[in-house]
Amino acid sequence: MLLYGDNGDCEQSKENAGTVYSFSFKTKEWSEVRTTGDCPPPDDVVELAERGGKLYVLCINYGGSCNLMAIYCLALEGKTRKWTKVKTTGTPPCGRIGCSATVLGDSWYVHGGFPRTQRHPACWDIVGDTYEYNFKSQGWSKICPVRDGLLPRGGHVAIAWRDAVVFMGGTTSSGRTEQVAYLGGGAYCTTVEVLWKCPLRPNASNGEYVFTDTIRGIRSLHGCEETSDVVLISGGTEIKAHRAILSAASKTFHRMFSGNFSEMRENKSGEVHLDSISPSVLETMIAYVYGVLKEVPANLALDLFRVGDLYCIDGLKEEALSQLKSTMSVACVAMLARVADEHSCEGLFNAAVEFVASDPDNLLQVLSSENYLSMLRETPELGQKFTHMCTRRAFGAGEHSETLNGPAGLGDISGK
């Protein structure tokens, strides 16, 4: 393991500028690697990478040409122990801290961060641009996504995974509520993004590479008959799809297409009959799998919740659950409590209890609703459990002592 750079307060680093510290996992000992040459400023280091027997340092070049901060790569040659400043081509990114710098193949990918025109800035703006540095050509190029660019992030984490870079966490300036969690006055990114590499675009200029998120690229295959290899049938409606995409999104489809399953007869013929799902629900589920569904329709939320659970499509199940919670009403809340029991969904059950207990009028209306009376007749133990939890929560008794599993460990919410 190699260590270089500090925050500018280390006297040892100032006295021994250019020194690299090496740690051996075998001997568990640290050692100094003395260097010569034009070393990078220790307190301006952003990231390190080891490549081909050389140590590369990404740092901020304050006071560069046109007073623009830039990120440069500096290589430490392992044999000569001499620093040299790499003469790069192309336009490097502006100087920044809190960015990610990830090595994948022959390239170093730099994304996001907080731009710096001086060491002690007055603001913490966040950028969302992405750059590639190629170790072989020593050239910089700005990545131009085919569709939406990556979210602006700072202080995040990025890792190389297969032929992609995965971005997670960090603060963000994105205003989209579904991508952000607000904690302590800060906006933190909750979205995980994947940047997949694709071949160079024909006639690309300025060395710019085109990248795309393959997951989003799947959208173009929705309804594509030429490449489909399976037909899903429901109530006379046929939907052509791709086994690989269905298998990737659903464990149930994966088992169906790869092992002994009740639908194997249809599997071999290229047709799968899903008569338990209505055509509209099936079409919506497939639209979600291919990433073209903008939002879960309120009128199909319950059916999509069931289908998401049945076919192990967790994202669809969660989005449908969110829709059910937001549209909960006196007329349907008891029915949703039964659905929660059937699918062992504590989140939905607790939401139903909270809805009833939040308003005395809700409690009175629910206790006289047809769905509630039906629950008492058909599932009396669940009805008693639901009534008990709603009334206790409504009148402030045992607010936090009960969950879907009931008081004192009674098992599942139906009391079994």
185 shares its domain with 278: no
234 shares its domain with 321: yes
201 shares its domain with 98: yes
Per-residue b/e over 122-156, b at no fewer than 16 CB within 10 Å?
eeeebbbbbbbbbbeeeebbbbeeeeebbbbbbbb
CB 30: neighbour CB atoms within 10 A?
11
95 shares its domain with 208: yes
270 shares its domain with 303: yes
Each of the 416 residues of the chain gets a pLDDT tens digit; together they read: 778 766 555 555 455 556 778 888 888 899 887 777 777 777 777 888 887 777 888 887 765 544 444 555 555 555 567 778 888 888 888 888 889 999 988 899 999 988 875 555 555 688 888 889 888 888 888 886 544 578 889 899 999 887 788 999 888 887 666 666 766 666 788 888 888 765 434 443 333 333 344 555 677 888 888 888 899 999 889 999 998 889 888 888 888 887 655 444 455 567 888 888 999 999 999 999 888 888 889 899 999 999 999 999 988 888 888 888 888 888 889 999 999 999 988 888 988 988 888 887 888 888 888 888 988 899 989 988 998 888 888 777 544 444 444 433 334 444 43
105 shares its domain with 205: yes
Q: Write out the residue range of the structural domain in which residue 251 sits.
A: 219-326
SS3 per-residue string spanning the chain: CEECCCCCCCHHHHHCCCCEEEEECCCCEEEEECCEECCCCHHHEEEEEEECCEEEEEEECCCCHHHCCEEEEEEEECCCCEEEECCCECCCCECEECCEEEEECCEEEEECCEECCCCCCCCCCCCCCEEEEECCCCEEEECEECCCCCCCCECCEEEEECCEEEEECCECCCCCHHHEEEECCEEEECCCEEEEECCCCCCCCCCCCEEECHHHHHHHHCCCCCCCCEEEEECCEEEEECHHHHHHHCHHHHHHHHCCCCCHHHHHHCEEECCCCCHHHHHHHHHHHCCCCCCCCHHHHHHHHHHHHHCCCHHHHHHHHHHHHHCCCCCCHHHHHHHHHHCCCHHHHHHHHHHHHCCHHHHHHHHCCHHHHHHHHHCHHHHHHHHHHHHHHHCCCCCCCCCCCCCCCCCCCCCC
Residues 131 and 110: beta-carbon distance below 8 Å: yes
Which residue among 276, 302, 326 closes a domain?
A: 326
Quote the pLDDT of residue 409: 32
237 shares its domain with 294: yes
| pTM strictly above 0.85 | no
Amino acid identity at 141: S
Which residue among 176, 191, 212 closes a domain?
A: 212
Dihedral sign computed on CA atoms, order 56, 58, 61, 64: positive
Number of domains observed in the structure of the chain: 4
373 shares its domain with 274: no
186 shares its domain with 82: no
* Residue 180, domain CATH: 2.120.10.80
* Residue 301, domain CATH: 3.30.710.10
* Residue 349, domain CATH: 1.25.40.420
Which residue among 280, 305, 326 closes a domain?
A: 326
235 shares its domain with 265: yes
321 shares its domain with 333: no
206 shares its domain with 119: yes
